[in-house]
Amino acid sequence: MNYTPTIDDAAWASIKGLVADSVSRCSGNTAYSDTDLYQAATRFVAWTQSSTALSLADDLFAPSVIEDFVAQGLPDYAPASRGNRRSILLRMSETILGERASRVRLKALPSSEPSRPYSDEEISSLRKWARELSSLRRTRAMALLGLGIGAGLSSGEITALRCGDVASTGAGVVVSVCGARARDVTVQRGWERAVSEAVSGGDDDRWVFCPERTTGGKNMVTNFLAKNLSADVRPNVQRMRATWIVGQLDRGTPALQLVKESGVRSMAALSRFVPFADAA
């Protein structure tokens, strides 16, 4: 089949053969379509090559490697999506390795409980991760951190944001979120520069995050993180948003204001973050 990957051309060129070989072995031998197999294998193989340097001959699809990938290589996937991706890869493992696909004890995936906010030390590590990227990717990574930790935006909201949605006012840098949770959020001090640099010189219609794209890019954040993995940190937008919410609780932001700026319907939706707040 003619599969178009969502990773960059250079990364795809280096793994295309491995992916095609693995899908060819599994095609028609599992309950999944070739498209499902390609999507799962592409992300998995890209991660293994950047993190483990295994080859197909090295039992690349060993269940233990798949478990590591599910735990470390899908930072922005919800538990259900991670479970589905694991199921596909394990079926591929059984087909490719046969009797050698000895099962490991599968770890229970976390439920959809609130994300743990980042500590100050972890935030410093995230900043270091971003600073060490190339110039263009550094701007994107800092924008991601600024909008996630500094304004509490979700992955979808970050992806949909355009330069015209960001304004510098007397109160600071204000982000106007569109969509189902439309609201205005003032970026926290310490993250204003990251957001301002991302929109600098851009037309109102230009995307703030990964501006060269031509579509909304459903998996834009996930793909960016996958291509910029670090052994030291695992950036996660859910945890970034949780960090912003808990920070608001710590600062004593009035309940009605917090409900409005976080884009939820009631304070009850935020109560699960209270145990993480300093005042809890």
CATH number at residue 237: 1.10.443.10
**Judgement on whether residues 196 and 241 belong to the same structural domain of the protein:** yes
Does residue 137 share a domain with residue 73? no
Does residue 137 form part of some domain? yes
Q: How many CA atoms lie within 13 A of 142 on its CB side?
A: 21
Residues 116-163: tens digit of each pLDDT: 899 999 999 999 999 999 888 999 999 999 999 999 999 889 999 999
User: What residue numbers bound the domain in which 16 lies?
Assistant: 9-100
26 and 152 share one domain: no
Exposed/middle/buried for 76, CB within 10 Å: 0-12, 13-18, 19+?
A: buried
Specify whether 150 is located in the same domain as 74: no
In a domain, 19, yes or no: yes
**End-of-domain residue from the set 38, 65, 100:** 100
Alpha-carbon separation of residue 198 from 9, 135, 147 (angstroms):
24, 12, 10
175 burial via Cβ count (<10 Å: 0-12, 13-18, 19+):
buried
So what's the pLDDT on residue 52? 65
Contact 247, 191 (CB under 8 A): no
Task: Write the pLDDT tens digit of every residue in 218-243.
Answer: 678 888 888 887 767 778 898 999 99
Burial class of residue 3, CB neighbours in 10 A (0-12, 13-18, 19+)? middle
**Residue 106 pLDDT level (bands cut at 50, 70, 90):** low
Judge whether 107 lies within some domain. no
Name the domain boundary from 37, 67, 100.
100
| Assigned domain for 199 exists | yes
In a domain, 109, yes or no: no
Same domain, 146 and 210: yes
Phi, psi of 228 (to 5 degrees): -130, 45
CA-to-CA separations, 150 to 137, 174, 185, 195, 244, in angstroms, rounded: 19, 11, 9, 9, 6
User: Does residue 48 lie within any of the structural domains?
Assistant: yes
Decide: helix, strand or coil at residue 218: coil
For the chain, the domain total comes to: 2
Number of residues that make up the chain: 280
- 16 inside domain: yes
Looking at the structure, do residues 93 and 192 belong to the same domain, yes or no? no
